[in-house]
Amino acid sequence: MGSAPAPFFEIGKKAKDILTKDYYFNHKFSLATISAAGLGITATGVKLDDLFVGDISTQYKSGKTTVDVKVDTNSNVSTTVTVNEIVSGAKTTFSFKIPDQKSGKLDVQYLHDHVAINSSIGMNTIPVLELAAAIGSRKFGIGAEVGFDSTSATFTKYNAGISFNQQDFSAALILADKGETVKASYIHFLDPLNRSAVAAEMIHRLKTSENSFTIGTSHALDPLTLVKARLSNNGKLAVLCQHEWRPKSLLTLSAEYDPKAIISPSRLGLALALKP
């Protein structure tokens, strides 16, 4: 809903996307197509050093229901059924994986004027329960999430965050890892027309007093070509060039240099996504 705050998992996501999205340092190929009946099929292959893995996924939409099925090279079959607007502002998702009998999970998302709630429960005899909530608006939001393992009667996670969003910038502060890590992120949109932006993320670990940070930027050379770069405090430098050579078909080249790596300081990646 237009005035609802972003769900908790989206706090800090805008800066994270600038710093990490589409950076890939192996080889990846994907081909997506859709039939006249509305059945979408996507085949993906990934080369990880000398190992090749892949999967084939299908998606079918009918009214408010979407069914996704994916089969990977390890013979795992993952199925997700999503139903939108059972009631106004609600989305329900049921997922499971075969042959993993304990993988069943039910997720419910609810968005209202000033609240966003996400809940998840494992569909087994001793489930793991998760709940996330955010209140506020699109400009300002505060939220938290908890996870509870009913087997051991312990909390698997508890995090909190706050976000502040304006037209030209977005800032977020997150207390993560059960209160052991503080993450602060900021993104400034310099020129929306050229998708120019700068972003930074700083992470402080309370137990060890260790600090790390990453800064990055993005800029569109033209309507079809985007370049990005990032630099971390450990000296790692990464660059990316993404070109939309035909509608919705992307060619992405990524490179990273790690001055501390002795054997292979440089990594190159190529990702090709085709959507006829």
What's the confidence (pLDDT) of residue 67? 94
Residue 229's pLDDT band (cuts 50, 70, 90): very high
What's the confidence (pLDDT) of residue 3? 66
DSSP state of 10: G
Q: Give pLDDT tens digits for 33-61.
A: 987 777 899 999 998 877 888 999 999 98
What's the confidence (pLDDT) of residue 2? 55
Both tokens assigned to 160: 């909190």
Q: Is the peptide bond before 223 cis (omega within 30 degrees of 0)?
A: no
What's the confidence (pLDDT) of residue 42? 93
Task: Centre a 10 Å sphere on the Cβ of residue 240 and count the other Cβ atoms it contains.
Answer: 22
Average pLDDT over residues 208-227: 95
Instruction: Give residue 228's identity as a one-letter amino acid code.
Output: K
Which option is the CATH number for 8-274: 2.40.160.10, 2.40.70.10, 3.30.420.10, 2.60.120.10? 2.40.160.10
Q: Give pLDDT tens digits for 12-24.
A: 999 999 999 999 9
Mean per-residue pLDDT of the chain: 91
d(CA 258, CA 276): 37
Task: Provide, rounded to the nearest whole percent, the portion of the chain with pLDDT above 70.
Answer: 99
Average pLDDT over residues 71-100: 90
d(CA 55, CA 77): 10
d(CA 68, CA 236): 37
Question: 189, 168 in Cβ contact below 8 A?
Answer: yes
Which of 94, 97, 58 lies closest to 76 in space, CA to CA?
97
Does the structure show a pLDDT above 80 at 81?
A: yes
d(CA 270, CA 28): 6
Question: 196, 204 in Cβ contact below 8 A?
Answer: no
Using a CB cutoff of 8 Å and minimum separation of 24, what contacts does 152-160 make?
156/128, 156/130, 157/130, 159/8
Residue 261's pLDDT band (cuts 50, 70, 90): confident
Average pLDDT over residues 185-200: 94
Average pLDDT over residues 189-194: 90
What's the confidence (pLDDT) of residue 1? 54
What residue spans define the domains of the chain? 8-274
Q: Is 18 helix (H, G, I), strand (E, B) or coil?
A: helix
Residue 260's pLDDT band (cuts 50, 70, 90): confident
Entry pTM: 0.85
Which of 171, 142, 175, 172 lies closest to 157 in space, CA to CA?
175
Average pLDDT over residues 250-263: 92
What's the confidence (pLDDT) of residue 275? 87
Residue 44 main-chain phi, psi, to 5 deg: -130, 135
Both tokens assigned to 110: 């609810």
Q: Give pLDDT tens digits for 100-122.
A: 878 889 999 998 888 999 999 98
d(CA 13, CA 29): 25
